[in-house]
Amino acid sequence: PAASLLYPYGPEQHDQKNPKLDDGSSKKISLAVPFTFYGKEYRNLYVNNNGVISFDTRVNQYTPDPFPLADGRTFVAPYWGDVDNVRGGDVFYRETTDPTLLARVTKDINQYFPKIPYTATWAFVATWDHVAYYGSTTNKGNTFQAVLTTNTKTSFIILNYWDIQWTTGAASDGDPETGLGGTPAHAGFNSGDETHFYNIPGSQTDAIINITKTSNVNVPGRWVFQVDDFKVTGVPTEVPKVANSNNCWL
């Protein structure tokens, strides 16, 4: 059951794959249907290697900044950190209207948001598969996923964290051997208007390593948000704890 946290991805799903390029991104992706995010419709996006899906403009920045950003960039950060897919891992994406996938997405969202009538008619799936960090001297990799979905009026984003083994690249003052320390990865949403944003608890702290154990929908490793008119629901009040080297909770 645990493996079903991730929606299907990879070559067998006819996914596109990002170039092997440090701080690189996908080509400009023109969406078949507009996606509404914080009240604005977007028709283009980029899947950036450094754990960001951005609207209208690429993001090659590797050390995350806290939200809200002052420069007007609009994006979703499943796990904004210094990914190096040259060193290891792949970044996949696809736009889809596959009925099997849409039925699964619909079922999940209906379960988490029973008061919102919703049937998915479109989805965009981006998956970072066992991606390495810049400067790594190990084979540590992170696997996480972002799913954008809409019925043309209501939009949701599902963030899935399957395996998180590192938080920081060496150029962000992380340790090359552990992938920890320095300026850790950031997870959240930035509207681009300097006012509206959301930071997932633990962002840019050592605790982000435990995002596979946190959730706002009672499914460890999954965060789901309505984003057409952004709403935060069911957020835990406690920031996740950090385990020390003896695996004791601090």
Report the distance separating Cα 101 and Cα 120, nearest Å.
9
pLDDT digits (tens, 9 = 90+) for 130-146: 999 999 999 999 999 99
pLDDT value at residue 243:
55
pLDDT digits (tens, 9 = 90+) for 62-88: 999 999 998 999 999 999 999 999 999
- Extract the tokens encoding 140: 């540590």
pLDDT value at residue 242:
62
pLDDT value at residue 238:
59
pLDDT value at residue 49:
98
Average pLDDT, the chain: 93
pLDDT digits (tens, 9 = 90+) for 157-196: 999 999 999 999 999 999 999 999 999 999 999 999 988 9
241 pLDDT above the threshold of 80: no
Most distant CA atoms of the chain, gap in Å:
50
Q: Where are the domains of the chain?
A: 11-226
Mean pLDDT of 44-72: 96
pLDDT value at residue 231:
86
153 pLDDT above the threshold of 70: yes
Question: What DSSP string runs through the chain?
Answer: -GGGGSPP-SGGGT-EE--S-TT-BPPPEEEEEEEEETTEEEEEEEEETTTEEEESS-----S--PSSPTT--EEEEEEES-EETTTS-EEEEEEE--HHHHHHHHHHHHHH-TTS-----EEEEEEEEEEEETT-SS---EEEEEEEEESSS-EEEEEEEEE------GGGT--TTT--SSS--EEEEE-SSSS-EEE-TTTTSGGGGGGGG--SSSSTTEEEEETTTTB--S--SSPPP-B-TTS-B-
pLDDT digits (tens, 9 = 90+) for 94-108: 999 999 999 999 999
pLDDT value at residue 239:
58
247 pLDDT band (50/70/90 cuts)? very low
